[in-house]
Amino acid sequence: MAPDASIPTDDPGVAVVGVGLISPLGLSPWSTLRALLEGRRTADRLADLPDGLDATAVARATGAVSVAVHAAEDPALDLAERAARQALADAQLAPGSADAARTPVWIASSKGAVLSLLDPRSEGRAQAIAAGPVGLVAARVRDRLGLGAASAPVAACATSLVALAGAVHAVRRGECARALVVAVESALHPVFVRSYERLGALAPATPAAAHVARPLDRGRAGFTLCEVSAAVVLERFGARRSPWARAGALATGAEPFDMVRPPDRYATLEQLARRLCAGADRIALVQPHAPGTADNDERELAALARALGDASAQTPAYASKGALGHGLGAAGLVNVVLSCLFMRCGRVPPMPWLCEPIGTPFSLSRVGGALAHGPHLVVAQGFGGHVAAVRLDPP
């Protein structure tokens, strides 16, 4: 949390110059944004499901990405490559070029290509065993796109913001001219679905109509899962005329608790948020982790409200997991990409699942609306107490 003495105090920071996003609601950043602004959510698919499906079938029917369902290999590999290619194209960086070869990549996933590991018939099982399921994704994205060195930190649901922090610091210190961060999750498998169900963290899947995520609502009963991949290209701020956003500040830490047994006060989260927002303009949007579990959401927003103080009054908060589902280790970077899109279009989507919003100084809206110009705060928390946050400043 202390300032990095190796970075000049007048350092202009690092900009997001390319974005990619594959979600259950869209196969690109803009198509996903369009669906969110229209109030669509994965729970809309429940109306088409027959009775009697088990929890895994319900999770797959609601949270799957169409192209991943029919991928010839582990869907995590396909999704990661697709999002990475989108971000590279947006940043006008050609895969396999000399510039790409000098671009290191950070792969963020709590599970990686785990379906290759779990399926004894998978062609990639030996590689998944040798490199690990996350290492397999890192090697595949690096090799297929002709990128530089690959890193793959793992920090549960905070993984992608931890990876983002590593990439931002590498660019700021001059270790590389640019960096790519790719986050992916595709783990709609009984091992994980049943695990979250037994932990009491998953929204009920019986009957299927109850499998609805309601983060920030008093009636929430757990999260739903989804397949998702997000990617960003980072460069020194000022290198491009119209970047998406600037990584104003980042921080990582750990709570001495986990998301199943949360503390009464998220002291580490409060400290991180306070440090990140100190001296910044009024925060225009907060994207909390907000998984929709029974014990988390009020406590998380209370900690963020204490950190922001009076500035939290009427600041809008948006919980993407109510629309997309929980992207696990990729969730934080998904919200970073969404914030870039929200800044560009000047709007925040509706949260139609809100029936009785939790009590908080933050503004929670069923209908969404115009978004003020200003910084965004994005938070991620994970099992084991991992915490990470980033403040994104307008370019």
Using the 3D structure, point to which of 176, 206, 236 is the last residue of a domain: 236
Report the pLDDT value the prediction gives residue 5, as an integer from 0 to 100. Answer: 42
The reply to whether 361 falls in a domain is yes
Measure Cα distances from 354 to 215, 234, 319, 381 in Å: 8, 35, 10, 22
The reply to whether 353 falls in a domain is yes
Measure Cα distances from 112 to 118, 163, 169, 197, 389 in Å: 12, 14, 24, 20, 22
Residues 56 and 133 both lie in one domain: yes
Average pLDDT rounded to a whole number, residues 216-233: 97
Q: What is the per-residue pLDDT across 175-187, written as a single tens digit (0 to 9) for each?
A: 999 999 999 999 9
Q: What is the per-residue pLDDT across 44-94, written as a single tens digit (0 to 9) for each?
A: 999 999 988 999 999 999 999 999 888 778 999 999 999 999 999 999 999
Question: Domain count of the chain?
Answer: 2
Residues 254 and 149 both lie in one domain: no
Q: 52: buried, middle or exposed (CB in 10 Å: 19+, 13-18, 0-12)?
A: exposed
Report the pLDDT value the prediction gives residue 237, as an integer from 0 to 100. Answer: 86
CB of 19 closer than 8 Å to CB of 229: no
In 3D, which of 107, 97, 103, 160 has the Cα closest to residue 136? 107
Report the pLDDT value the prediction gives residue 31, as an integer from 0 to 100. Answer: 98
The reply to whether 374 falls in a domain is yes
Give DSSP secondary structure letters for 253-306: EE-SS-SSS--SS-HHHHHHHHHHHTTSPPPSEEE------TTTHHHHHHHHHH
Residues 135 and 282 both lie in one domain: no
Q: Is 155 helix (H, G, I), strand (E, B) or coil?
A: strand
Residues 209 and 350 both lie in one domain: no
Nearest-5° angle of CA 10, CA 15, CA 16?
A: 165
Q: How confident is the model at residue 6 (pLDDT cuts 50, 70, 90)?
A: very low
In 3D, which of 243, 242, 182 has the Cα closest to residue 15? 243
Q: What is the per-residue pLDDT across 83-135, written as a single tens digit (0 to 9) for each?
A: 999 999 999 999 999 999 999 999 999 999 998 888 877 777 888 788 888 99
**Is pLDDT of 3 > 60?**
no
Average pLDDT, the chain: 92
Q: How much of the chain, in percent, has pLDDT values that exceed 70?
A: 96
Q: How confident is the model at residue 9 (pLDDT cuts 50, 70, 90)?
A: very low
Using the 3D structure, point to which of 236, 266, 290 is the last residue of a domain: 236
Residues 56 and 160 both lie in one domain: yes
Residues 228 and 252 both lie in one domain: no
Measure the CA–CA gap between 107 and 134, rounded to whole angstroms: 8
Report the pLDDT value the prediction gives residue 258, as an integer from 0 to 100. Answer: 62
Residues 86 and 188 both lie in one domain: yes
Report the pLDDT value the prediction gives residue 8, as an integer from 0 to 100. Answer: 45
The reply to whether 330 falls in a domain is yes
The reply to whether 273 falls in a domain is yes
Residues 141 and 263 both lie in one domain: no
Report the pLDDT value the prediction gives residue 10, as an integer from 0 to 100. Answer: 52
Residues 196 and 251 both lie in one domain: no
Q: Which domain holds residue 341?
A: 245-393
CB of 241 closer than 8 Å to CB of 381: no
CATH number, domain of 89, equals: 3.40.47.10
DSSP state letter for 377: E
**Is pLDDT of 348 > 80?**
yes
Q: What is the per-residue pLDDT across 243-286, written as a single tens digit (0 to 9) for each?
A: 999 998 999 999 887 656 777 889 999 999 999 998 877 999 99
Using the 3D structure, point to which of 206, 236, 266 is the last residue of a domain: 236
The reply to whether 365 falls in a domain is yes
The reply to whether 20 falls in a domain is yes
Measure Cα distances from 107 to 82, 204, 231, 261, 390 in Å: 13, 31, 9, 28, 17
Long-range CB contacts for residues 40-43, cutoff 8 Å, separation at least 24: 40/323, 41/213, 41/322, 41/323, 41/324, 41/352, 41/353, 42/224, 42/226, 42/323, 42/324, 42/325, 43/211, 43/212, 43/213, 43/224, 43/353
Residues 256 and 123 both lie in one domain: no
